Amino acid sequence: MQHDAEHRMKKIRLAPIHMIPGSFLLAILAGTLLLKLPWASASGRSTDFVTALFTATTSVCVTGLVVVDTYAHWSTFGQIVILLLIQIGGLGIITVASMMMLMLRKKFTLSDRTLLQDALNVDSSSGLLKLLRRIVIGTFLVEGMGTVLYSFAFVREYGFGKGIWASAFTAVSAFCNAGIDILGPDSLVRYRADSYVLGVTMLLIILGGLGYVVWFDIASNAKHASEYGHSLRQRFKRLREHTKVVLCLTVGLIIIGAILFLITEYHNPATIQDMNLKDKILNSLFESVTLRTAGFATIPQQNLNGASSMIAYFLMFIGGSPIGTAGGVKTVTMFLVILNALSYVRGKSVTTVFNRKISNELMRKAAAIVQISFMAMIVLTVLLVLTNPVTLEDGLFEIISALATVGLTRGVTPGLNTVGRLIVIAAMYLGRIGPISMAVFFMKQKGNKPRLEYVEGRFHVG
């Protein structure tokens, strides 16, 4: 009997590809139940299920779209629940659970290590627990630094108690690229001329979006360089190829995005036309940064003109970089897809970056992530436009924002009907777990060889 029970348990044990999405779903459901409690709302009345579900999903999926004002609708208890969900969602449920196991000195089995490896999306289990410790410590250090930096502005404005709470909440939300705030109904619009607050916010967003492996590579390189007195160029050469690509893409996208927004919105009276040149540059730069999955806003997104909206679609879809808190298909993923196309056009059989070959398996994985994300974007946009009185431009913005866990809206989110809210909930959930699950799936398929050899077919493309 015991043997049969153990056999049944082994049969129903979920693989990591199911465990990771399942863990996010359980966190969302737990958050929904907590947010439905009467004392989670400022009014003392229970929040309706769909609103609680939407808020729990946007928090765990670190998206930032909200159907009720976070600062007004939720009590302090409700805001604490939201903050914890953001932190758990930003780090990842498996990462948080593994951290608790470390703190309690629990032994990690082989399956535990495999699950953590898949959750962190790293290729090797070597040094996995050391990486976990560095991720957790690094996260809390950066969020603590952000809290201190914000406090110089918020304590002066709100007083000590509320100022510290607002600083901590905003620091965690910015670093986790969630974009949820408790500062008021208009996000950071009233801080659009405050270069200090926007500067701290951009710093936290960028640090969260770079990815943990990039952090540690830069830190290790800086320590080595200080010992041997390397120049800046030598330091860059010593970085790993992944870090080089991420840094180049991040800097390039931020600068190009800022320049394009400055040009397209310069004479738009509904956004930055009436600002002085310094504030125009500051807000264009902030828009370029926040669209890469952060969700804070200094200008109303519905006031962007058509050209700016197209730029926004592209930046949101790309998102941040791998193994970090940002969403989207990721910078490196999109870069590999574009690079693959360029290699084919140039007739190259091997694709290289910084004198390193990119495997065909990695190219296939990148292409699959982009294609599936694009298909999901089209299907969900059509469903949203069919079920809600929104334009195609607004509906597409809403869905890309949800899928890429950005959290910006063109004023659509609060007015969605129940079906529309459920569609956006599905988009946020798919956006948070989709790329992870796809990466795990393709990694697990590696090495599987077909049993049969098929005759090559004749197909025509292009």
Both structure tokens of 304: 């962007």
User: What integer pLDDT is reported at residue 109 of this predicted model?
Assistant: 72
Q: For residue 25, report the phi and psi dihedrals to the nearest 5 degrees.
A: -65, -45
Residues of the chain with pLDDT under 50: 1-2, 5-12, 438-439, 441-447
Which among 153, 160, 143 is positioned nearest to 188, based on CA atoms? 153
Give the pLDDT score at 8: 46
Question: What is the Cα–Cα distance from 374 to 403, expressed in whole angstroms?
Answer: 10
Contact 205, 174 (CB under 8 A): yes
| The predicted structure's pLDDT at residue 289 | 95
pLDDT of residue 231: 67
Residue 38 is predicted with a pLDDT of 96
Q: Using a cut of 0.75, tell me whether the model's pTM lies above it.
A: yes
pLDDT in tens, 90-117: 887 777 777 777 777 777 777 767 767 7
153: phi then psi, degrees, rounded to nearest 5: -95, -45
Q: What is the pLDDT of residue 458?
A: 64
> Is residue 353 classed as helix, strand or coil in its secondary structure?
strand
Chain centroid offset of residue 260 CA: 23
Cα 91 from Cα 89, distance rounded (Å):
6
In this prediction, residue 446 carries a pLDDT of 47
Interior angle at CA 263, CA 261 and CA 266, nearest 5 = 90
Q: Annotate 380-399 with b (16+ C-beta within 10 A) or e (fewer).
A: bbebbbebbebeebbbbbbb
pLDDT in tens, 8-31: 444 445 555 567 777 888 999 999
Nearest to 324 by CA among 157, 205, 407: 205
With tokens 């806003």, the residue in question is 297
